[in-house]
Amino acid sequence: MLKLYNTLTKQKEEFKPINPPNVNMYVCGPTVYDFFHIGNSRSFIMADIIRRYLEYSGYKVKYVMNITDVDDKIIRKSIEQNKPFKEIAGKYADYFLEDSEKLKIKKADVFPRATEHIDNIITLIKELEDKGFAYNVDGNVFYNVSKFDGYGKLSGKNIEDLESGSRIEINEEKKNPLDFSLWKKAKEGEPYWESPWGNGRPGWHVECSAMSCAHLGNNFDIHAGGSDLIFPHHENEIAQSEAANGEHFVNYWLHFGFLNINNQKMSKSLGNFFTARDILKKYSAEAIRLFFAQAHYSGPLNFNEELLAAAQKGLEKLTNLQRKIEDELSLKTTEGTTPELNFNKYKTGFQIVMDDDFNTSQAVAVIFDFVKDVNKVIGENTNINSAFYSEVKNFLQETAEGVLGIMDFTQKEETDMATKEKELIELLIKLRQNAKEEKNYSLADKIRDELKAIGVVLEDSKDKTTYKVTVN
């Protein structure tokens, strides 16, 4: 029986989907004005693991992750670079999808974009205005927080105690400092859309309400995101969605803990800001996912390269066994012994800990215990038949690969070959450099020409030689 911690009720609850076996899940995605950072990747990866486990458990998940493609930060960058906001948003949305794929994050069923849902947003705001929850001040439309009785129920904040702070939009036009923007009046040089209140653009909070309800209905199962979004973003989503639709918005709220860098909050000013793209240059997606999976999704996590390197090292136990499995299965040995190993014990153990609020740290422990015991069995037995290795592979494919994403049986051979090819090219570049230093220019030119003949073009600069691969 799956239980999860619901931020809304502040307790662990049995998971009961609205329409089993279907599960509707919405995850707050990126605002696409830059590469997403390693803190974002924790949320995206842990949400992906939760989705994978629900599917492993037999649920049919409709997974929706929004892309915020119009926002103050996007507009600011478009002005700085003198480029259309759509160009900025489009470029970084593509980078987000590219880096997500590299992190082995399964594609969402729907990636709704705010600019594609302006009609839904306007309809929602109009409903709030008609019901007295929103007010228009010269083309700026605000949500009247005091009109919604349940405001604060997600974050646990008392509306009387809340004061305007750095995270709350301050505007003299608002009746209350806590009131938030639903529609922003167009400013010169900024993108805008026509609306009943004049030209303008939507506020951030209302975008998610409109997109989630458009694709999952007014009441759905799971809404997830970083814990920094609990207030005010998710609190505001609840207020505007329930006020407009007149029904309960989301049944289960899941939030992912903060990621600190060397025990400090990640910040560009501190010089400890890392993008997912940066980290992927040094570590495999499986190592990054293992690092995150070793901690519970809701708690804080300290990131440093020593810990990530340790995760990369820990993967060797999995890859060594994977190599052994593939080697043995290639022999197709039908004869021989089938050692005794209680596979059901590990499968049950994995399910028990994952059913307990997606306890990935314990799930990782189950997998490594399994690997340890399998290696022991292999060491103590000879002439093991393929059936045993096939069962070992099936378990690891279902759990380590299928749920946690810390193994990859499908691309291992291709990845190994790509790595070897890269190493060989770099070796030839080094040999060419040595030849040039020894004034053996004929050998240097021969290496360059031979590489070019197979589609590897060298590019010399003052400091180094790089290469690109062309397709003939």
- What's the confidence (pLDDT) of residue 311? 95
* Contact partners, residue 121, CB within 8 Å, separation at least 6: 114, 202, 206, 207, 210
Say which range, 60-74, 119-133, 373-387, has the weakest mean pLDDT: 373-387
| Residue 143 backbone dihedrals phi, psi, to 5 degrees | -90, 130
Given a cut of 70, is residue 78 above it in pLDDT?
yes
Cα–Cα distance, 258 to 226 (Å, whole number): 7
- CA-based R_g, the chain, Å: 27
Write out the two tokens for 357. 């609020």
SS3 223: strand
- Proportion of the chain above pLDDT 70, given as a percent: 95
Amino acid at residue number 85: F
Q: Using alpha carbons, list the distances in angstroms from residue 178 to 59, 146, 170, 172, 418.
A: 39, 9, 8, 11, 54
- What's the confidence (pLDDT) of residue 173? 85
- Asked if residue 406 lies in contact with residue 293, where contact means CB atoms within 8 angstroms, the answer is yes
Domains of the chain and CATH, by start = 13-265 (3.40.50.620), 313-401 (1.20.120), 412-469 (no CATH)
Tokens 């300290």 -> residue? 302
Write out the two tokens for 31. 């605002």
Mean pLDDT of 168-174: 68
Given a cut of 60, is residue 165 above it in pLDDT?
no
User: 400-433, pLDDT tens digit by residue?
Assistant: 999 999 999 986 555 555 667 878 998 999 999 9
Given a cut of 80, is residue 175 above it in pLDDT?
yes
Long-range contacts, 150-153 (Cβ 8 Å, 24+):
150/238, 150/239, 150/242, 151/178, 151/235, 151/239, 152/235, 153/8, 153/238
Mean per-residue pLDDT over the chain, rounded: 92
Cα–Cα distance, 370 to 364 (Å, whole number): 10
Given a cut of 70, is residue 322 above it in pLDDT?
yes
> Please, is 19 exposed, middle or buried when counting C-beta atoms within 10 Å of its C-beta (0-12, 13-18, 19+)?
exposed
Tokens 């662990």 -> residue? 12
Mean pLDDT of 2-22: 98
pTM for the predicted model, two decimal places: 0.86
- What's the confidence (pLDDT) of residue 417? 57
Closest to 57 in 3D by CA, of 13, 5, 100, 15? 15
Residue-by-residue DSSP string for 10-38: TEEEE---SBTTEEEEEE---BSSSPPBH
Given a cut of 70, is residue 205 above it in pLDDT?
yes
Write out the two tokens for 412. 């291992």
Mean pLDDT of 26-49: 96
Cα–Cα distance, 303 to 39 (Å, whole number): 9
| 269 or 402, higher pLDDT | 402
